[in-house]
Amino acid sequence: MSRPVVAIVGRPNVGKSTIFNRIIGDRLAIVEDKPGITRDRIYGTAEWNGIPFSVIDTGGIEIDGEDAILKSIRMQAELAIEEADVIVFMCEAKSGLTNADEEVAQILFRSGKPVVVAVNKVDNLSRMDEIYEFYSLGFGDPIAMSGSHGTGVGDLLDAVTVLLPEKEEEHYDEDVIKVALIGRPNVGKSSLVNAILGEERVIVSDIAGTTRDAIDTPFERDGQKYVLIDTAGMRKRGKVYETTEKYSVMRAIKAIERADVVLVVVNGEEGIIEQDKHIAGYAHDAGKASLFVVNKWDVVEKDDKTMQQFTQKIRDHFLFMTYSPIVYLSAKTKQRLQKLLPVVQHVSEQHALRIQTHILNDIVSDAVAINPPPTDKGRRMRINYATQVAVKPPTMVIFVNDPELMHFSYERYLENKIRAAFNFEGTPIRIFTRRKTDKD
């Protein structure tokens, strides 16, 4: 199921990104040192009072074309209206209420969406009087904040979480594989959905997804039940989406959160662009099983090395997803289409694979014997044992004498040894290092 969405909207320089980082706890910083991971700093996840939610920083979205500030923030407001369940309308005390603030307020007011006004840069008590003029916006009590000092964030989150909708439960059996198709516009996602379903599709019903935009289509093939989560809505909805592709990321994220397997659809005719890396990175971060689908392969001029060269391009651009298999096909001609669902089923099984503790420890022990952990200032990490604690994605905990001695390069070495032993094709692996205690 997808989390409810909170969007932060406001004119430039009111501190949207600072508050965004405060809310998510800077978790968007790249903690795993894997090359090739790129980020649009527009999306993060947070939890408050036990309620998980997603956060959009609209200020992190670059808008191509004209530099007009009013046009820019108007588009941000439209994005928030489309995608968010609750909108945080950021203003700031030093400038006071501006014409730009009032214009955005009118757009938000007409939307009917819940809005919380946050007045930033209230850095001391003497500035508290400056928030009163923001009552005139008509959204209730403004919340005084200081992004630089971190004050008021708790009050803001209290106000936001009260307005969030309750989570909607999924109604699918555990053996159903939920498949999301993601990719930038015009890579052929809708054509691929139609090709997969074909004329023999068995549709119980077209179920509106838990998001407003994705449509869930259940079907069955060779005894396996699937649900396709179609994000075709990424191509529609007026001028906001025609202006910049980056808005489509938000719909992709919602689909990714609900999926078991993510198909990263790439246009074989156009090749790979930076936006493909951004979208695929969210599937990796979410710990989902994934594979690359190179569509429109029928129109690519080919020789005996074309596929090998394109595969190498994918591996070079997506260094953080070397575990993901690649399927080349044409949704239009259905060339090689029959290869897709068996790979989907395979990576789904790998995503849910559980390794017995004693077998996992044998692999880790062998890896340590071949290549012991390096010393750090005369100290050497000692691995006591390892255990798998979760699936989807497979998650391992390694108990050691001192977690700070686990270097990222050695963690990657262990991951590679685990993959060599158990495959785990199509799924990320998460490894956490913990200090062994007497209880353990």
Tell whether residue 58 is among the known ligand binding residues: yes
How does strand 51-57 pair with strand 224-230?
unpaired
Tell whether residue 6 is among the known ligand binding residues: no
SS3 assignment for 258-287 = HCCEEEEEEECCCCCCHHHHHHHHHHHHCC
Tell whether residue 391 is among the known ligand binding residues: no
Tell whether residue 426 is among the known ligand binding residues: no
Tell whether residue 254 is among the known ligand binding residues: no
Tell whether residue 230 is among the known ligand binding residues: yes
Q: Which phi and psi angles does 231 have, rounded to 5°?
A: -100, 35
Asked if residues 19 and 90 have their Cβ atoms less than 8 Å apart, the reply is: yes
Tell whether residue 154 is among the known ligand binding residues: no
Tell whether residue 252 is among the known ligand binding residues: no
Residue 357 is given by DSSP the state H
Tell whether residue 333 is among the known ligand binding residues: no
Tell whether residue 376 is among the known ligand binding residues: no
Tell whether residue 188 is among the known ligand binding residues: yes
Tell whether residue 136 is among the known ligand binding residues: no
How far is 147 from 122, CA to CA, in rounded Å? 9
Tell whether residue 10 is among the known ligand binding residues: yes
Tell whether residue 129 is among the known ligand binding residues: no
Tell whether residue 65 is among the known ligand binding residues: no
Tell whether residue 313 is among the known ligand binding residues: no
Tell whether residue 392 is among the known ligand binding residues: no
Tell whether residue 150 is among the known ligand binding residues: no
Tell whether residue 295 is among the known ligand binding residues: yes
Q: How far is CA 391 from the centre of its chain?
A: 18
Tell whether residue 267 is among the known ligand binding residues: no
Tell whether residue 190 is among the known ligand binding residues: yes
Tell whether residue 54 is among the known ligand binding residues: no
Distances (CA, A) of 7 to 56, 100, 113, 144, 229: 5, 18, 11, 18, 23
Tell whether residue 50 is among the known ligand binding residues: no
Tell whether residue 261 is among the known ligand binding residues: no
Residue keyed to tokens 């190498």: 312
How far is 384 from 365, CA to CA, in rounded Å? 9
Tell whether residue 185 is among the known ligand binding residues: yes
Determine the length of the chain: 440
Tell whether residue 268 is among the known ligand binding residues: no
Tell whether residue 41 is among the known ligand binding residues: no
Tell whether residue 36 is among the known ligand binding residues: no
Residue 87, helix vs strand vs coil: strand
Instruction: Enumerate the H helices of 148-229 as residue ranges.
Output: 153-163, 189-197
Tell whether residue 311 is among the known ligand binding residues: no
Give the CA radius of gyration of the chain: 24
Which residues sit in the known binding site? 10-17, 57-61, 120-123, 183-190, 230-234, 295-298
Binding-site positions for GTP read 10-17, 57-61, 120-123, 183-190, 230-234, 295-298
